[in-house]
Amino acid sequence: MRRSRKGFLDVLHHRLGQSSEQPRASKYRIPAAWSCWGYDRARSLSKGEIAVDPFDFLDQLLHRVILPARAGRRLSGKSFSQIAGPSLGRRGKSINVKAQRGGDWIKQATIYGMLVRVSSAWDHTGRGSLRPGRWTNTGTFVKSILLLPLLRHMGINTLYLLPVTKCSRAFRKGELGCPYSAKNFFELEADLHDRLIGEDPSDVDTEFGAFVEAAHAMGIRVMVDLAPRTASRDSDLILEHPDWFYWIDRNVAGRYGPPVIEKFEGSIPRPAQLAPMFKQEALRRHLSWFREAPSVTQPDRWKRFAKQCAQKPPDNLMREIAKEFGVITPPGFSDCVNDTQPPWSDVTFLRLFRDHPAASVKHLPDPLTQAPYVFTDTIKASRFPGKKPNLSLWTLLSGILPFYQKFGIDGARVDMGHALPPDLQNMIIEKPRRKDPDFCFMAEEFSYEKAAAARKDGYNAILGASWYMQPRAAEGEFHRLCNEVLPAAKLPSLAAAETPDTPRSVTRSGQKRFARLAATLNHFLPGAVPFINSGMESFERQPLNLGLDTQPPGQFALKKSDPYHAKLGFFDRVALHWDNAGAVGMIELLHRVSLVRQEFLDDLQNPKNHFRPKVAMNQRKILALGWTVRRRRQALLVLANIDFKQRRRCVLAGLAKRIGGRTEGRSLFAIGKADDFMQLRHAGLDVMLEPGGVQVILV
């Protein structure tokens, strides 16, 4: 990868100029929402679409919005902190919040999570298909640049990208390979290249770099996703390092899966529970299926095979290995004992230790002849380490994020980092911070009780479980999240009604009312970071994946007549429904509520300012949050009616200490009917809230 002295964005601009010499194409369809910055050469179509000349549209966006925002700064290969300093405001300017340590800028973030190939996908020809033609209809880095003004309008200042690395097509579940089936950690996925820039997919490096630069110019940071425990089952690493993988007899591949352990209740076993497990016939049969790597059993034959494959790559590497050596890499499965979800057909675990787990080896029938195996203990390497770390593999895994720092990324989410050997996790966290001390890390940790441990490990935030608790508002979980869980958490967590792995918020009880309410409240939850899952802003119904909290209608949330019915973005060609009814209003809701959050961000960031208002009636249906605004001797109140069927009266009492002698409150934001000014009586407040209604009031 060679980078121009002028930067990726300049190279992209130059190549765009070359590509635009092609015949003009004024019938290139895009969602009207993508043109929020004032493009005036579009032709309106029905259902929220416009038709544009794609070359002119992108060129005008660069000249009128992105390049002026860059203001001559050199952005290429630098993180946002290296460009502008660690503090991040709504417009990319410094704000009066000091980061406690590197990466703590995430406390001031509003995050948008996106799977690039879905978030910027669209049927540009109107033919009802995303299959490739003249245009790249699935999402690309170039088209993601088109989204930046819209995301900035919604108050987004941080992007979290699901994996963008080269993924495998082997053992895939749908039309496309899953982004988590990493075939090569050090190559970008070629399908994220856009044919607007030319036919050479190797240009994808420039396009990704330009996307990061453009985001930084707009005051938006970029985080990526790292899943270091697994790789695709036909990973590019196999030919050179087959001993870094686990292997099973090809004849058992059709019935391979996690063994069922009888009389075990729980999730991850304790060391004392291993002995009876390893005596069970199901586990012994499972262990018997594993084989040594072919480079161990037949080293000379493997060398010849690997050399031939390097010279002429086979269409199906795993099929050739199975035919030649009788073994195959096994699919992955959860580290939870007796988990009911099916095996992950497209990924396999990497062998992090060269020996068996120290806690398990004494329970194996014959440790000397037992081939390396996959079970809960080897998957959960943090609890069951071996004595011989696979240091060469660790060095490679810890070098992945530094490789992507060449493009200027600002942080990463580490998939299942808490399951890694502590020393490997430390390597993964420390290396990027040598180059960028303000590099941010987010842990895939759902337990708020483990936030303190995540902080000790070097993380700046955790995912948390708001995606589970918020849809269960009727059961009191939203109240518990706000009043008990978040105030006690030792690390910021995501405030999210949905994630890439869960059902969509609009399919939950309350539907659009719930989605609007949650999107608003998530900007004000104590110690939490607002998270917008791509598509939530357009009331998207179809989930990207269903790995968490699967509920009806599951993957069948769209009508059968919809071209994306029953498809999932992790596996298929899918586009968001940007033209859904109410999408424009939801986008504007996010814009307006983000302005309120930004105005009071200093106050919201101080946990000493947070208080729990006293709700005098409808306590189970009214959710109330409060902050003292010290510089004004006022209080910011956020009131929500979690009853999505009927109006509820909200009566607050005991505000005297917070507001002094004030007698009026002012509505800053509302879902439902609101009075601009309201009277306070006896230092209390009386407000009527519509079903799913929200009021943000300054008193």
Does residue 549 contact residue 472 with C-beta atoms inside 8 Å? no
Q: Average pLDDT over the chain, rounded to whole?
A: 93
> Edge to edge, what strands does the sheet with 49-52 contain?
28-31, 49-52, 43-44
The alpha carbon of 415 is separated from its chain's Cα centroid by a whole number of angstroms, namely 10
Instruction: For residue 665, give both structure tokens.
Output: 């409150």
pLDDT tens-digit map of 84-109:
865 544 444 443 334 458 999 999 99
Q: Which CA distances in Å does 657 have to 628, 635, 662?
A: 10, 10, 11
* pLDDT above 90 (res 683): no
Please enumerate in sequence order all residues whose Cβ is within 8 A of that of 603, keeping only pairs 6 or more positions apart, or say none: 609, 627, 628, 629, 630, 631, 636
pLDDT tens-digit map of 247-281:
999 999 999 999 999 989 888 999 999 999 999 99
Q: 528-533 and 461-462: which strand pairing?
A: unpaired
Helices (H), 538-689: 583-599, 601-605, 656-659
Residues in the chain, overall count: 699
- Is the omega angle on the peptide bond into residue 487 within 30 degrees of 0, that is, cis? no
pLDDT tens-digit map of 527-563:
999 999 999 999 999 999 999 999 899 999 999 999 9
Q: How far apart are CA 52 and CA 528, in angstroms?
A: 39
338 sits in the region (left: phi over 0; alpha: psi -120 to 50; else beta) called: left
Beta strands in 32-110 (DSSP E): 43-44, 49-52
Q: How far apart are CA 608 and CA 278, in angstroms?
A: 51
Quick one: which of 533, 437, 525, 518 has its CA closest to 489? 525
Please enumerate in sequence order all residues whose Cβ is within 8 A of that of 420, keeping only pairs 6 or more positions apart, or say none: 228, 229, 352, 381, 382, 428
Q: For helices 141-153 and 54-61, what crossing angle results, to 10°?
A: 50
Helices (H), 36-180: 54-61, 67-70, 80-84, 116-119, 141-153
Does residue 326 contact residue 292 with C-beta atoms inside 8 Å? no
Q: Residue 159: what pLDDT?
A: 98
652 band by pLDDT with thresholds 50, 70 and 90: very high
Does residue 454 contact residue 416 with C-beta atoms inside 8 Å? no
Q: Residue 163: what pLDDT?
A: 98
Instruction: End-to-end CA distance of the chain: give it in Å, rounded.
Output: 56
* pLDDT above 70 (res 347): yes
Q: Residue 183: what pLDDT?
A: 97
Count Cα atoms within 13 angstroms, Cβ side, for 486.
30
Quick one: which of 498, 493, 523 has its CA closest to 510? 498
Q: 165-167 and 221-226: which strand pairing?
A: unpaired
Residue 147 one-letter amino acid: L
Domains of the chain, each with CATH number or no CATH: 8-229+395-594 (3.20.20.80), 233-351+353-388 (no CATH), 609-698 (2.60.40.1180)
Instruction: For residue 631, give both structure tokens.
Output: 């510089």
The DSSP code for 161 is E
* pLDDT above 50 (res 3): no
* pLDDT above 60 (res 303): yes
Instruction: For residue 320, give both structure tokens.
Output: 């050739």
Q: Which CA distances in Å does 219 have to 21, 188, 602?
A: 32, 24, 18
Does residue 400 contact residue 237 with C-beta atoms inside 8 Å? no
* Backbone dihedral angles phi then psi of residue 602, each to the nearest 5 degrees: -55, -45
Q: How far apart are CA 679 and CA 670, in angstroms?
A: 17
Q: How far apart are CA 690 and CA 645, in angstroms?
A: 9
pLDDT tens-digit map of 218-234:
999 999 999 999 999 99
User: Worst-scoring range by mean pLDDT, 108-122, 153-167, 256-270?
Assistant: 256-270
239 sits in the region (left: phi over 0; alpha: psi -120 to 50; else beta) called: alpha
Q: How far apart are CA 327 and CA 292, in angstroms?
A: 9
Residue 247 one-letter amino acid: W
Quick one: which of 269, 294, 295 has its CA closest to 283? 269
Q: How far apart are CA 513 and CA 511, in angstroms?
A: 5
pLDDT tens-digit map of 578-633:
999 999 999 999 999 999 999 999 999 999 999 999 999 999 999 999 999 977 77
Task: Annotate 111-133 with b (16+ C-beta within 10 A) or e (fewer).
Answer: bbbbbbbbbbbbbbbeeeebeee
Helices (H), 20-115: 54-61, 67-70, 80-84
Q: How far apart are CA 15 and CA 13, in angstroms?
A: 6
User: Worst-scoring range by mean pLDDT, 110-114, 203-207, 671-675?
Assistant: 671-675
Q: What does 421-434 look like in DSSP terms, one character per residue?
A: -HHHHHHHHHHHHH
Quick one: which of 639, 628, 633, 641 has its CA closest to 661? 633
Q: Which CA distances in Å does 86 have to 7, 103, 106, 297, 466?
A: 22, 8, 10, 53, 27
Q: Which CA distances in Å does 643 have to 476, 638, 646, 688?
A: 12, 16, 6, 12
Residue 116 one-letter amino acid: V
pLDDT tens-digit map of 30-89:
999 999 999 999 999 988 999 999 999 999 999 999 999 999 888 999 999 999 865 544
Q: Residue 22: what pLDDT?
A: 66
Q: How far apart are CA 50 and CA 48, in angstroms?
A: 7
Q: What is the dihedral of CA 155, 160, 165, 171, to 10 degrees?
A: -110
Please enumerate in sequence order all residues whose Cβ is within 8 A of that of 213, keeping only pairs 6 or more positions apart, or say none: 7, 8, 9, 70, 75, 76, 408
Does residue 491 contact residue 448 with C-beta atoms inside 8 Å? no
Q: Residue 611: what pLDDT?
A: 94
Burial tier of 699 (Cβ tally within 10 Å: 0-12, 13-18, 19+): buried
